[in-house]
A and B are shown apart, each in its own frame.
Chain A
Amino acid sequence: MNAEMLKGHLDNILLAVLEPGPAHGYAIIEAIRQRSDGSFDLPEGTIYPALHRLEVAGLLKSRWIDPPTGRKRRVYELTRSGSEALAARRTGWSRFSGAVDALMEGGACPV
């Protein structure tokens, strides 16, 4: 998958990956890789500025957690606005991808 093509959808992907619950950056990257069956393999650092951008936009919030065992990490989670934005983007995406699918299947132009 072309990295530039993927970047255009990165915000939606991040919101969707964080829907089940809070996660830290590395876990988000792993989830994207696994759920896309290895198709989405961006340079890992690209995820973090996008997370920061979504946080500045109020769609995510983050905090540092310091578990008794394990490493200190910044954890991201959806805000209420983030959940609403994800629902709206899902609807838009379904319509868009459905239309592109219909066109990609081919067919004759009306004469």
Chain B
Amino acid sequence: MSRLTDAYLAEFDRELGFDHRLARRVHREVEAHLQDARDDAGSEAAAIARFGNPRLLAREYAQAALPARLRMAGAAAGALALATFAFMRLRSMLLTLPGMEAGPTMALTFIDRAGFGAGLTFGLYAWHVARTVSGAERARRIFAPLLGAAMAFLLSTVASLLRAQMAAGGELLVWITGGLELLLLGAAAMQLRLLHRHAALAAGKAWN
């Protein structure tokens, strides 16, 4: 490949850099096309001109791939909700945790439960948006409730872990479930970040 084609392909790589799999696919496909087109168009520059503006095309690719990105973000949020609930119940069953009656842990118990409830509410609202709104608007409107759900689950998880830690000390169960929950939170946060960048490109502008 010549420097001209390399520079052209690098623009696609840059625009789609947040999604390496999509970027690699686009790179290979555009490269194969330009090899075919070069012979018919007469020159590499003509083939590139006929192909189109890389920024606009990257935006169209991002729009095409947005449903898959939304599914992944939704799946991450769903897995997080399930894990938060399951581990919370597991700790309650296997450890003797103080409830609302115990003074110092009362606030933590409240935050744990309220955070989980808020997370579920945000998650259900995100699900409603996913069912009723379409296109790039869906990604824009679903981001805030998904972020809200992740924050609420984070709050609930931290409160739940502190509560368990205070009651059971260095129990292995607390460390394992806590580690897994934080890992899932990290994965959900990464999916949300990717969704934000993906949707911004698909919409052709930055949004908050």
B73 CB, min distance to chain A CBs, angstroms: 15
The verdict on A44 contacting B64 (CB below 8 Å), with A49-B57, A74-B28 known, is no
A104 to B1 Cα, complex, angstroms: 50
Query: Could you say which of B29-37, B142-150, B159-167, B174-182 contacts chain A?
Result: B29-37
Residues on A with C-beta less than 8 A from B50 are 43-44
A76 CB, min distance to chain B CBs, angstroms: 11
A50 to B25 Cα, complex, angstroms: 14
Decide: B60 and A46 in contact? CB cutoff 8 A: yes
Decide: A71 and B35 in contact? CB cutoff 8 A: yes
A interface bracket (residues with beta carbon within 8 Å of B): 10 to 19
Residues on A with C-beta less than 8 A from B32 are 24-26, 71-74
The verdict on A56 contacting B57 (CB below 8 Å), with A26-B37, A71-B35 known, is no
Chain A residue at minimum C-beta to C-beta distance from B58: A49
A48 at the interface (CB under 8 A from B): yes
A85 CB, min distance to chain B CBs, angstroms: 16
Decide: A48 and B30 in contact? CB cutoff 8 A: yes
Tell me the count of chain B residues lying within 8 A, CB to CB, of chain A: 23
A110 CB, min distance to chain B CBs, angstroms: 38
A48 to B37 Cα, complex, angstroms: 14
Q: Which of A44, A56, A74 contacts B51 (CB under 8 A)?
A: A44
Chain B residue at minimum C-beta to C-beta distance from A48: B29
A63 at the interface (CB under 8 A from B): no
A72 to B51 Cα, complex, angstroms: 19
Chain B residue at minimum C-beta to C-beta distance from A57: B67
Q: Which of B45-86 contact A (CB under 8 A)?
A: 50-54, 57, 60-61, 63-65, 67-68
A45 at the interface (CB under 8 A from B): yes
The verdict on A56 contacting B30 (CB below 8 Å), with A45-B51, A45-B52 known, is no
Residues on B with C-beta less than 8 A from A25 are 29, 32-33
Decide: B36 and A56 in contact? CB cutoff 8 A: no
A48 to B52 Cα, complex, angstroms: 11
A53 to B61 Cα, complex, angstroms: 8
The verdict on A45 contacting B63 (CB below 8 Å), with A26-B37, A56-B68 known, is no
Residues on B with C-beta less than 8 A from A73 are 32
Q: Which of B28, B30, B37, B64 contacts A53 (CB under 8 A)?
A: B64
**Apart from A45-B54, A49-B64, A50-B60, what 8 extra A-B contacts exist at CB < 8 Å?**
A25-B32, A48-B29, A48-B33, A49-B60, A49-B61, A49-B63, A52-B25, A56-B68
What are 7 A-B pairs with beta-carbon distances under 8 A? A25-B29, A26-B37, A43-B52, A52-B25, A53-B64, A71-B32, A72-B32
Closest 3 pairs between A and B when the two form their complex, measured CB to CB: A49-B60, A43-B52, A53-B64
